[in-house]
Structure 1
Amino acid sequence: MNNQHRILIFTGGTLGEWALEEIRDDDLIVGVDRGALFLIRHQLQPDLAIGDFDSVTGAEAEEIRTNSKTYISCDPVMKDQTDTEMAFHWALQQRPAEIVLLGALGTRFDHTLSNVHLLSLGLRFHIPCRILDEKNELLLIDKPIQIERGRFTHVSLLPFGWEVTGITLDGFQYPLHDAALRIGDSLGISNVLLSDSGSISLKNGQLLVIKSMD
């Protein structure tokens, strides 16, 4: 595929009109289980619908199958990956410009945390990845980035691993210089950008960056 395209994965968590606003004309759209039904009910045809479809009725599964360009169904018991992980691995194989997960944060914390862990696969494949919902945007970094505020009011940093070292923040209300964050530290919670953008750099480790709003 043309690696200038993004892949948007709509999963079965919390979705709404905010998610539809993220779609661009040249995006590839993947619907995971009930996320595929969400797309179809909003007059959008998924490029791929994938999952065990155990969260929809038989009639809804047929509706998804007939209204998707490609339909991949699997047994709900005899599988080793969540539906979202299967979709994410498919997306990685396409080598897109970016992968955006929507509906990946929901009421099931086990699924939410598992989806956050998928971001580490994006780093391994050198593909930018984000998790987005109405109130939050999550990304995982292992190298310096420029961060834009957008519609979010707060930026929080959490170590994704035992320790992240050499953290330096520029353009934030609460600056850090060559700092370390370890599991259990709350030092990186609820920072604020002083203008529309700022920078985050680090030397070692993986850092979870969470932009959020109340």
Structure 2
Amino acid sequence: MRINVLVGGPVEMVPTELILERKNEKWIGVDRGAVRLLKWGIKPLIAVGDFDSIDKEELLGLEDTLEKIKIYPPEKDYTDTQLGMKFAINENPDEINVFGATGGRLDHLLANLFLPLQEEFKPYLTRTKFIDCQNVVSYYLPGEYTISKLPAMKYLAFVNLTPVRGLTLKDEKYPLENWSSQIPFSWTSNEFTAVNNHFAFRSGVVAVIQCNDPLKQ
């Protein structure tokens, strides 16, 4: 079972067509993300956050429409995205897809990118994906993997978020053999050489990002 989380990040980075395709799946609305879901005809299981980015009328609309809404003070122990993840985990899903968590402020982006490494969320690390109009971020623990090219994605990046040993890119456009690092590092702008490519590493956590250039205006 997949559960989707919509956070209140920049709407221009949110793939609305994909979200509408998943209209009948389970959703959690985070802050302004809950307002957007209702606007698109999707009723989330719950809305969570401090809701400091919406006005009183929008908040009243959420309270009148949704069966469950959890309002937190702005000064709290968890970010809004963490709260969304916590409630997603409560559903015991096989996969968590998070939308609206990228773009805009760089501090928010970095907080969200590293979120699955935190102890509370690490059991769901390999089940978590961050998705926007240009990127799909997946997380991997040590092992050997086959990855499949997503439609419309051109580039492939391998980002060690922790110290990593033995990273090997077997058949990508720019291969790598048994590479290790004690600091985070991003191998960017690589590409698939076939529909399915392979990689492996012995220790650490690696984020794999399939991405594309922005659409020309």
Fold in common (TM above 0.5): yes
Superposed displacement of residue 25, structure 1: 5.7
Identify the match of residue 11 of structure 1 among 7, 23, 35. Answer: 7
> Quick one: distance in 1 between partners of 2:72 and 2:185?
41
Matched residue count? 207
Residue 206 of structure 1 aligns with which residue?
205
Code of the aligned partner of 1:43: G
In structure 2, runs of 5+ residues without a counterpart are none
TM-score (norm 2): 0.87
Asked if 1:106 is matched to 2:103, the reply is yes
TM-score (norm 1): 0.88
Going from structure 1 to structure 2, the CA distance change for 1:184 and 1:70 (only over 3 Å counts) comes to closer
In structure 1, runs of 5+ residues without a counterpart are none
Code of the aligned partner of 2:15: W
Residue 84 of structure 1 aligns with which residue?
81
Q: Deviations over 1:123-151 (max 9, x none)?
A: 43465100000011112211333212112
Superposed displacement of residue 170, structure 1: 2.7
> Quick one: distance in 2 between partners of 1:206 and 1:178?
15
> Quick one: distance in 2 between partners of 1:208 and 1:13?
21
SS in 1 for 2:107: helix
Residue 180 of structure 1 aligns with which residue?
180
> Quick one: distance in 2 between partners of 1:170 and 1:12?
38
Going from structure 1 to structure 2, the CA distance change for 1:71 and 1:29 (only over 3 Å counts) comes to same
> Quick one: distance in 1 between partners of 2:189 and 2:125?
28
- Identity of aligned pairs, percent? 28
Aligned alpha-carbon RMSD (Å): 1.9
Tell me which moved more, 113-122 or 12-21.
12-21
Tell me which moved more, 145-154 or 99-108.
145-154
> Quick one: distance in 1 between partners of 2:212 and 2:166?
27
